Structure 1
Amino acid sequence: MRLARVLSLLAAILTAATLVAPAAVAEPPLRLPDYVTDNAGALSGGQLANVQQAVDTLYRDRHVRLWVVYVASFAPKTAVGWTDATRQLSDLGDQDAILAIATEQRSYAFLVPSAAASGATSAQVDNLRVNKVEPALHSSDWAGAAIAAANGLAGLGTSSGRSGGFSLVPLLIIVAVILVGVAALLLWSRRRRNKRHEAEVAAAKRVDPTDPDALAAVPLDALDELSRSIVVDVDNAVRTSSNELALAEDEFGQQQADRFNRAVDNAKATLQQAFTVRQQLDDAIPETPAQRRDLLTRVVVAAARANRDLDAQTEAFHELRDLVINAPDRLDVLTQKLVDISARIDPAQTTLTQLHSEFADTALASVARNVAAAKERLDFADQSISRARELVAKPVAGEQNELVDCVRATESALQQAGSMLDAVDSAATDIRRAVAALPSAIADTQQGINQAVAQLTQGGLSDTDELTAARDAAVKAVAAAQTDGTADPLGAFTELTQADADLDRLLASVADERDTAERLGRSFDQALFTAQSRVRSVSDYIDTRRGSIGPEARTRLNEAVRQLEAAQAKQKSNVTEAIARANGASMLAAQAQQLANNDVQSAQRTYMNHYGRVGGSSNMGAVIGGIILGNILSGGMRGGFGGGGGGGWTSSTYGGSSGGGGDMFGGGGRF
């Protein structure tokens, strides 16, 4: 009995000991208080610091948060289920990875969102888990497992997305350096090429331009630029000589001026050859380098010979017009002319205002600014007269040249102002005449349309398709003239006469030849009138703004004149071709007007950028009009002038272009 009671007591003690002995207690999922949570007591103080440092480094380098938690057991949940529940309770996001370790249960879970892996694949994360984390856990290296996880995640970032972002910066820097280097090289190359070109042009201008053999050594690009500048300079010289020669004829009579007239006419004929060749260079048909060199050489030689013919008469002409003698009487005459032309300003402005109220801007392009430009010329003439009177009142040795310049500049400015006001009056007359005649032109074209319809209705024509197309084009031209003809009557005439001529050409083979010939004659008259009007207005425009208009506009105008002359020559032998030539002249004149407008606008901007308001708008008008020598065609100002008190500039006069090689080209300005 006693033994039984002892055994029972021992059994009770063992049972109680078993109930109170330590055991692996399961811990439910929790909200993690910090990046490293050691509820299992697995880490020493140093180990905890090492793990914390690894976690902090990962966040600093990649902004990925690794949460590490140590517990004794996950039971009854699975490792992944417990870890996922803890993630949710801890509000972990896409940049939060978690490593959960049950030290006594010896199980773990390592969950890494794809965003935290920075582009790494699932296989790469598994490789980190199996080959880095698990071996440390297998050795009970609790701290080493967490550090391996942190370092591994950092390595994933470096080898995948993170490395791409990091290496892209130096790559971009290298690319940028290369691009800057290439840009600098291109800029240097372009500047070197420009300097070489400038040197070649300067050398070309020192060559005798009348010698084809000497020009053969000039590079092609330099020869092209030389041809462009020389036709402008010589055309300006011819225009200036013609204007001053007209004054000489009024003063001394036709007989005294005959030899100078012959020189100007010869120069015009020779220069026309240069413009004809220049037009061939500017057309849409390409030339071989050899052909282009030959044409450019012909342009330069022809223009240079025209210039030489004028220069040969310059000294004799200046002797004839000794402007120093009787200067006071000349200035009195010029003053009266200034008053007379000034009195025309207001009526011309009224006329122009009325025209603008009736017609489209395209119909008035050649005269739209003529009144304002005439005022500029008159202001300049007034300043020149005042300065000339000062020089006459106080004659100083060596200032005769300035006095001559003042007289010539005044004459040229007054001539241009009068020409501009004449152009306004002519435009009013021409446009109103065109408006009055437009119904007749429409009726003529409509008659052709009716005849074409009748012929097409009868059928049996060999050229039905061509006649149908011509009829349709004529119908379109008539409709446009009826709708917009009063806004731009000259333009409407061009389209109508072209359509009418095409119809007449086709109807000539199927209709009464005499009736068709009469209608062709009327079409020719209309086409000729339109062409003459347009050519005249553009020529006046270039003449009064010759200091700012480049070779392209002059070339188109010269070709328009040639086509106009050809139209008149063909009137008797081939009226259809004559109409086509006249219409071609109108179109070329319109192109010349647009190019000239662009040149003048560009010159005005260049002048204002260079001089601002210094010298006044009258000086700008004198430069643009070619009264004061200078060149603003190439974006800069070559030559110069003083303002206010006069002096410091030279007016243009009869004779060839006076500029040397440097003055013909180059320039600069202030920015």
Structure 2
Amino acid sequence: MTDALWWLPSVIVLAVVVGVISLLVSASRRRSRGIRAAQNAEITERARTAAISLVRADDLIEAATDELGFAIAQFGERATADFAGALEVSKRQLREAFALKQKLDDGVPDTDTQVRQWTEQITRLADEATARLNAQTREFDSKRVVEQNAPIQLDQLRRRLDRATDRLAGGAATLDRLATSYSAEALAAISGNVDRARASIDDGRRAADAAAARLSAGATEPVGDQVGAAERALFTATTLLDAIETGEDQLHVGFASLGTALAAAETELAEARALRDRHEESDASAVLNRVIAVADAVVADLRRPGRVSDPSADLARLREALDGLDVTRSEARNRQLRRDNAREAYVGAHLAARSQIGITRDFITANRGRVGADARTRLAEAERQLILAEAEADPVSALDAARRAMTHATDADALAHYDTH
């Protein structure tokens, strides 16, 4: 019985393998069907979007064609040239989009890639045509509003031009007043603003008068360009007159800053003079005195009564002089500080060297027969350096000599102890 069923385990294994393979194949097929369904849904949605964009663009082109006719009648062919060009480009794009749609709708099978690419291209062409025509339509809507409101705008423009004219006298008076305190260089940016503003106001009036004449005569030509020219001229004049007021404020602020800087310069000069007078090095005092004289001259000139100022240039000139003073004063201060520090350090160095020399001299005396020439030579040099330190007027040199004396005395002591052992 057992021998007859020897094949049973192999059959079971084979059945299991076949079952697993069947499950895998079934899962793969379900996955493929899901992916295909998703792709089909995407293609369908793209096609729907493209169709909507195509219909919208086609309707808009029809409306824009009528709109262009109205615009030509109202504004003339020259003013509507851009509109006509935009309409022609949009029509060409729409013809291309319809040709692609026909390729999708004919009986020739298309690949998924072709469907996707053509659908996207249809949407893009239609949307570009729509956006272009919408922009042109909005522009001419704005122009119509301008034409409709032209009488009101002209009335407002004339009043604003009158107010700008009234400001001319005030601007001229401001420039005359500023000229008594500030130089021509300081006023260069705004000195011609009154004349330029007056010319702009005249241009604005001429444009406004031309527009008003057309309206009074009942002419069909649009006046929007003249109204716009008048607005731009008024804006230019207003900007120029505002710049005079702003420039006056800036000059006053600059002059106040100059006064503050001059007060600070006086303080710096006083500190520099004090350093010069107490400095122990004559060459440093001489260099410091020269830069003090330069800065003094600049400050005196900037404070000269009746002098007209260019605050920006004056501040730069003062800063340059003070920068030179700062550098020289810093160098002189460091040199004096080095001398002061050396003088303080010398006291301790001198005491230590004298003490070490005395200790070493006593040791050599106590071991007179056992200490050799080297130790005695170092001690003699230490004593010589100490004498030089005591005689030196320069504290830095005196400190160096005292430190050398200490070094030689220490060496002598070490050699003396070596000899005795």
**TM-score, with normalisation over the residues of structure 2?**
0.39
Which has the higher Rg, Structure 1 or Structure 2?
2
* Structure showing the higher helix proportion among its residues: 2
